[in-house]
Amino acid sequence: MRGLPSLHFPLSPSSPQRTISARRALSSVRAPPFPRESSWALKTGAAAAGACCIYAIDQSYSQEQVSITRTEGSFLQQPSFSLVQDLAQEAKKSLIQRCLTKSCVPSSDHHLSYKGLNFSSISPQRAHRIIAALHSGKILDGETLISLSNAAVQAFQSEPTVLDLRNAGDNITVVGDVHGSLPCLKKVMDLVGSLEDGGILVVAGDYVDRGEHSLEVFCTFLLLKLAYPNSVYLLRGNHEDNEICAEYGFLDELQEKYGYETESGGIWKALSDVFAALPLAAKTETSLILHGGLPSADFQLADLEAIDAETRFSFKTLTEARTPAEKLIEGVLWSDPSSHDGISPNERGYGIEFGSDIAKDFLDRHGLKYLIRAHEHVEQGSQLLDCGEGKGVVTVFSTANYPFGEGTNAGAILKLDQKGDYESISFTYSDANILDAFRYLDTDSNGMVARSEFLAGVEKLNQTLPEEKRLKNAEEVYNILDQRKQGQVDLDTFTQFFQRTI
């Protein structure tokens, strides 16, 4: 059943929508190995109540509310929220229909071909042009994606398992899980800023799964790595595992975008190789950065450093760890800090839970101040477990509204300073459906929404809505959107407009 799209099943008027894979909905699979994440997706308690309120508002807006007008330099909030939500839902319905009629794979005019391009020496300018195309709805064709993947493997295999950034300067940014959220990636990169000024970017894994644009997110980071090899460092997360991401979204997404070519054409193997080639940790003067946590109470960093690139590359999955090296890596990718002292089994089913006493002992033994990690959803985007004496475990999670743009949490990044301290910069992204709405309207996939496309898209949407919910002033809305009177609107303008009104 692989290859079906992600479907949005409305549970009831009193329940928020929940996104699940059609393959998982129609077949019996094993329980997820990380119940922490599963429990977040259920949105229990206050978070569920808040989500239900949003759902109720979205389903009941009136015609009076859909007239977008300027109000003291801002815009009315409710209409744009509902318009984007409805357009995004229509986009998903269109995708589902294409898949069910066996025309799911995008046409060739959506594919970018760079045959003969040497990705190993790609210039920053060329990389940014490709990234811009990916963010406007294009995807790399299969041959180009494999070429990019092979270049990335070569780059990662030249790096040690534990990256040494102790002499990398005092401008280091750490990014946590992005999980296939293209809107959050754009927000993160805005906060990171230019990579031309000597700054260092470390991404602590989990680029894929539980979001709708894992391919674009991962390709973006690979292009940045190859264009800025001494400024961008990518680490492996627990979802960079060909067993895990086959179950939690990435394989489904690739099947939607490439069809049979995903496996028979070598795309899945090429990307699995990239996952396995990724380094596992990075050390600065005062911190150790990794995805999950400490694998044992007596963990020595030297043991992880002793695993060479060839050995780690042989581990395409860590879900059935057998050798000491596999078990060590499993613990690094899956473990979590705990409010309780000591160590205990991890409810995820992999790795351990370790207390502040275990973390402080590790930090003391290695002369470090912080253990910086990702892996775990935290409501404010970052969270400190205080270990005493100015030391701690810092969690950073860079996907806002997790998962699938439906949650209530903020995202964050960390900025490390020359003293080894950090600043957490949080962000919210109220509607991760903006990109889907843009792509639905951009029918010729040229990265611009023309007036005719906008009006046609709204008219098509209106045909699916009850009378009281139809947008009857689409011309007026587009006039406000197209403030430069160019007759077409790019993704950045579209995004900024709706971010401002949500």
Is 375 a residue of the active site?
A: no
Alpha carbons within 13 A on the beta-carbon side of 455: 10
What are phi and psi for residue 163, nearest 5 degrees?
Answer: -75, 140
Count of residues making up the chain: 502
Of 450, 403, 395, which is closest to residue 422 (Cα–Cα)? 395
Token pair of 414, please? 């960390």
DSSP class per residue in 216-272: HHHHHHHHHHHHSTTTEEE---TTSSTTHHHHSSHHHHHHHHHTTHHHHTSHHHHHH
Q: Mind giving me the DSSP string for 425-471? A: EEE--S-TTHHHHHHHH-TT-SSEEEHHHHHHHHHHHHTTS-GGG--
Gap between the Cα atoms of 245 and 312, Å rounded: 18
CA dist., res. 133 & res. 111, Å (int): 10
Give Cβ neighbours of residue 116 (< 8 Å, ≥ 6 apart).
Answer: none
φ and ψ at residue 213, rounded to 5 degrees: -135, 45
126: number of Cβ within 10 Å: 16
Query: What DSSP string runs through 88-132?
Result: HHHHHHHHHHHHHTT--SPPGGGEE--TT--GGG--HHHHHHHHH
Using the structure block, give the residue that is written with the tokens 């206050």.
46
336 with 292: CB under 8 angstroms? yes
State the sign of the Cα–Cα–Cα–Cα dihedral 316, 321, 325, 327: positive
239, 291, 375, 377: which one is catalytic? 239
Planar angle of CA 488, 490, 491, nearest 5 degrees: 145
Cβ neighbours of residue 380 closer than 8 Å, sequence gap 6 or more: 409, 410, 412, 424, 426
Tokens representing 403 are 């998962």
Which residues, including other chains, have CB under 8 Å from residue 232's CB and lie 6 or more apart? 195, 200, 201, 203, 221, 224, 225
As a whole number of angstroms, the distance between CA 53 and CA 488 comes to 35
Are the CB atoms for 211 and 217 separated by under 8 Å? Answer: yes
- Say how far apart CA 302 and CA 293 lie, in whole Å: 15
Residue 343 token pair? 């160590």
The answer, yes or no, to whether the previous bond of 403 is cis (omega within 30 of 0) is yes
Cα–Cα nearest to 299, from 341, 338, 327, 328: 328
Say how far apart CA 307 and CA 422 lie, in whole Å.
29
Active-site positions? 239
